[in-house]
Amino acid sequence: MTKTGKIYLKKTTRLSVLTLITLILLISFIATILAYQNPTTTIETITIADYFQTSSYTYLVHLKNNTLYDLPLLLPNQGIYFKQIIDNLTATITYTYQSSLSGPIQGNYTMIAEIKTDLWTKKYPLINQTSFSDNDQTTSFTQDFSINYSYYDDIVEQITTETGITAPNPMLIIHTNIILSQRTSQGIISTQSSPELTMTLSQKTIEISENLTGTQAGSLTRQTIQSHESVILQRNIFTVITIAIAIVFCLLLIITDNKPDEKTETEKIIKKIYKRNGEWIHKTVTPPPTALQHTLRFASIEDLVKIGEDLNKPIFHYTIPNSQKHVFYILDGTTTYLYELNPEENHNQSTPLTK
């Protein structure tokens, strides 16, 4: 370290070190940015309870006295249901709820009949709101009801007569709207379901839906915030490393500098000559003349300077190309006074140069 407080390094060495640190700093900066892209917390959904609910319809088709069937009634999928020989229909819905947690269960259901066509719909209540409850993990209910099929079929014919338009695809849909809630130690389970029983209207035969049973599964979930300590640690480490590298980079810029080019011994001598006798010396690109000239050579620059002073003549400084040889000379008519500085020779320049 010098008196200025700087550390001088070779230009190539200093540039290489700064380039390497810059590259490391860039890599560390990118790694820090990537570390901050990862979230420190995530929201996770945890299932704390499962529940299942099953609803199932069954029905009986009661027949009038007829020749076709020797039976008073038909079960599901037992023959063809001819409208002309049907007396009425009775049905039953069975509902079951089961939970993985215990707790008081409260629920209610209503039932409506809906006539639905491609052009219009109408709804009629079948069963008013009915409640059910339990204090365990399961609950269930069974509800019997009758379907006055001819009543709904007549409504379709009446609306067709009134409007003059036969609405396509008339259907009778029985909806059972079930609402249930269970208070558990982990929270409240709330669920709704609406199982359906469908059948055709305004046809000579009645087609009833084959899918009579439905199952619905659900779960009670809770969202938790998960902290990722490894991501936080990674962020801190890369941040500290990046800051440390940046500080080192700035310190190197401040306390280091390119090492000045070292002058050769000849350059030092030339500098000393100019310092002492610069007002007499003039640089030239013309070598000293040799033709028809009488040349007097001197052993030291001091002797040549004295001649210049005595003759009041300038001293010309000529550097021989592609070499370190320097020639100082004075022109006085046909005489050339010359001093040649050759770095290969031993020049004693330790004593001060005088004018």
> For 183-208, how does the pLDDT look when each residue is reduced to its tens digit (9 = 90+)?
999 899 999 999 999 999 999 999 99
Q: For 230-239, what is each residue's pLDDT tens digit?
A: 999 999 999 9
Give residues with Cβ within 8 angstroms of 83, minimum separation 6: 149, 153, 203, 204, 205, 206
Residue 244 has pLDDT above 90, yes or no: yes
Return the CA Rg of the chain.
Answer: 56
Q: Which residues of 96-113 are buried (b: 16+ CB within 10 A; e: fewer)?
A: ebebbbebebebbbbbeb
Residue 355 has pLDDT above 70, yes or no: no
Q: Are 248 and 208 in the same domain?
A: no
Q: Determine how β-strand 138-147 pairs with β-strand 86-99.
A: antiparallel
Q: Are 179 and 54 in the same domain?
A: yes
Q: Are 221 and 232 in the same domain?
A: no
Is residue 114 within 8 Å of residue 199, measured between CB atoms? Answer: no
User: C-alpha 31: how far from its chain's center?
Assistant: 14
Residue 14 has pLDDT above 80, yes or no: yes
Q: Are 236 and 137 in the same domain?
A: no
Q: For 87-137, what is each residue's pLDDT tens digit?
A: 999 999 999 999 999 999 999 999 999 999 999 999 999 999 999 999 989
1 found inside a domain: no
347 found inside a domain: no
Q: Are 36 and 51 in the same domain?
A: no
Beta strands in 41-195 (DSSP E): 41-63, 73-74, 81-82, 86-99, 105-116, 121-134, 138-147, 171-184, 187-193
Q: Are 81 and 209 in the same domain?
A: yes
Is residue 198 within 8 Å of residue 153, measured between CB atoms? Answer: no
Count of Cβ atoms closer than 10 Å to residue 280 Cβ: 21
Structure tokens at 275: 């310092």
1 vs 52 pLDDT, higher one? 52
> What kind and span of H or E run contains 223?
strand 213-227
pLDDT for the residue 354: 35
2 found inside a domain: no
Count of Cβ atoms closer than 10 Å to residue 1 Cβ: 9
pLDDT for the residue 346: 44
Q: Are 31 and 122 in the same domain?
A: no
pLDDT for the residue 151: 95
Residue 75 has pLDDT above 60, yes or no: yes
Q: Are 245 and 139 in the same domain?
A: no
Q: Are 50 and 160 in the same domain?
A: yes
- Cα separation, 136 vs 121, in Å, equals 40
pLDDT above 70: percentage of residues in the chain: 94
pLDDT for the residue 253: 87
Residue 61's Cβ-count burial label (10 Å; 0-12, 13-18, 19+) is buried
Q: Which of 225, 249, 283 is the last residue of a domain?
A: 225
Considering the chain, what is the average pLDDT of its residues? Answer: 89
5 vs 326 pLDDT, higher one? 326
pLDDT for the residue 344: 60
352 found inside a domain: no
Out of 2-6, 69-73, 130-134, which region has the weakest mean confidence (pLDDT)?
A: 2-6
Q: Are 90 and 207 in the same domain?
A: yes
Question: Which domain, by its residues, includes 11?
Answer: 7-40+228-258
For the chain, the domain total comes to 3
Q: Are 184 and 145 in the same domain?
A: yes
Report residue 353's pLDDT band, with 50, 70 and 90 as the boundaries.
very low
Q: Are 50 and 188 in the same domain?
A: yes
- Cα separation, 30 vs 323, in Å, equals 52
Residue 259 has pLDDT above 90, yes or no: no
